[in-house]
């Protein structure tokens, strides 16, 4: 179920409020474009600035709009275990297919604390769980050994790995087993990640170029890395340009150029500089999207 291209879905806003009509249209568009699943209310969905009510509503609306056509992996992470349990229970009740649970940020738990946190969240619900390991944001890094311990739990099924360390894929195959679902959390190394044993990417760029990202993933999963590299050459300028400033701002600006949504983001994020806009425009032209 969890293979291929999974857009880390943006949350569209209009005059500061959720734009649910646009959100539903985006879900339909991603299905049409060939995305293999959706990941709402992650960091790219601006979850840090959503209220709990907004967070839950986005999950409900995405599940409803997807209507079983593609799986929905709902963001359900928190640096407070009790809050994470509330979020994952809601995701389960809303009909999500799985949950993405980030390593607790800011608190800096030990590896023992990570095991305790994920075990508690796991035991509180019946959803499959994808661990989100992103030390650059959470300031804590789950080791392959700790992940292997958690992989013994029946519903901890995979990882979104945003370490940028391709050797991690091989190390996690050793500790977690070959069936453990490894999804890249970094667009720029997604092809190499799959070559090392990964099976997909939870992607920011796939918000903008879902068809290209899905086709690139399909090429890697078919073992056609020559074709995958052709796609990578098309997409790499976009990967680079989108992340010159926070990826949410870059993705929303690019999507606004395609007429998909407003570029509006919530503070403390802001709109892009003119220099970054120009580079995204050039990358969109390079990918023949405009």
Task: Given the residues 132, 252, 253, 279, select the one marked as catalytic.
Answer: 132
Q: What percent of the chain has pLDDT over 70?
A: 100
What is the C-alpha separation between 153 and 37, in angstroms, rounded?
23
Residues 19-42 have pLDDT tens digits of 999 999 999 999 999 999 999 999
Would you state the pLDDT for residue 1? Answer: 80
- CA 285, distance to chain mean position in Å, is 25
Going by C-beta distance under 8 Å and a sequence separation of 6 or more, which residues neighbour residue 226?
none
Would you state the pLDDT for residue 187? Answer: 98
Task: Flag whether pLDDT at 248 surpasses 90.
Answer: yes
25 is catalytic: no
160 is catalytic: yes
Smallest Cα–Cα separation from 10: which of 159, 204, 258, 238?
Answer: 204
Task: Given the residues 24, 106, 152, 160, select the one marked as catalytic.
Answer: 160
What is the C-alpha separation between 239 and 235, in angstroms, rounded?
6
Residues 158-216 have pLDDT tens digits of 999 999 999 999 999 999 999 999 999 999 999 999 999 999 999 999 999 999 999 99
Would you state the pLDDT for residue 139? Answer: 95
Residues 110-129 have pLDDT tens digits of 999 999 999 999 999 999 99
């Amino acid at each position: 179920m969890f293979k291929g291209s999974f857009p880390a879905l943006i949350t569209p806003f209009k005059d500061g409020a959720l734009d649910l009509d646009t959100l539903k249209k985006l879900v339909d568009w991603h299905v049409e474009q060939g995305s293999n699943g959706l990941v709402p209310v992650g960091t790219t969905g601006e979850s840090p600035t959503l209220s709990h009510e907004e967070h839950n509503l986005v999950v409900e609306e995405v599940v409803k709009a997807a209507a079983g056509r593609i799986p929905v992996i709902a963001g359900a992470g928190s640096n407070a275990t009790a809050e994470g349990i509330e979020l994952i229970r809601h995701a389960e009740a809303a009909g999500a297919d799985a949950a993405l649970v980030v390593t607790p940020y800011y608190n800096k738990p030990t590896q023992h604390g990570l095991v305790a946190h994920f075990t508690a969240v796991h035991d509180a619900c019946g959803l499959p769980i994808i661990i989100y390991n992103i030390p650059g944001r959470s300031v804590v890094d789950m080791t392959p050994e700790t992940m292997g311990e958690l992989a013994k739990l029946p519903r901890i099924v995979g990882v979104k790995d945003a370490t940028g360390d391709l050797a991690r894929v091989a190390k996690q195959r050793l500790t977690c087993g070959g069936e453990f679902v490894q999804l890249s959390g970094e667009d720029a190394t997604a092809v190499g990640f799959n070559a090392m044993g990964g099976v997909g990417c939870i992607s920011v760029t796939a918000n903008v170029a879902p068809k290209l990202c899905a086709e690139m993933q399909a090429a890697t999963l078919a073992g056609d890395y020559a074709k995958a590299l052709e796609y990578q050459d098309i997409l790499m300028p976009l990967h680079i340009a989108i992340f010159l400033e926070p990826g949410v701002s870059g993705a929303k600006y690019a999507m606004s150029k395609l007429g998909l949504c407003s570029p509006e983001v919530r503070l403390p994020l802001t709109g892009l500089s003119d220099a970054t806009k120009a580079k995204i425009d050039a990358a969109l032209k390079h990918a023949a999207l405009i």
